[in-house]
Amino acid sequence: MENKSLSCPVCQSNKAEIAGENIKLSGQFEKKEFLTTPLTVLKCVRCGYYMFFDSTAKFTTKEELEKN
Ligand SMILES: [Zn+2]
């Protein structure tokens, strides 16, 4: 597992591990089925909060994430 430096929106921990890559989520919205583009799922190592990012995102620091 690779640790990434970013800030958890719940506990502000800057440690997260990759829980999954190229994950597609499906569901229903207003009676229409949808499927997301492939996502990278990060899990906060402190509180377990799941964060979803476009799989093209690069994870370094929060500041760099906001630039992209
Ligand atoms: Zn957290």
Centroid of ligand 1 to alpha carbon of 53 (angstroms): 16
Centroid of ligand 1 to alpha carbon of 2 (angstroms): 16
Quick one: tokens of 20? Answer: 């999954």
pTM over 0.85? The answer is no
pLDDT of 56 above 80: no
CA distance 57 to 40: 8
Span 12-50, pLDDT tens digits? 998 999 999 999 989 998 999 999 888 999 999 999 999
Annotated domain spans of the chain: 3-56
* Residue type for position 55: S
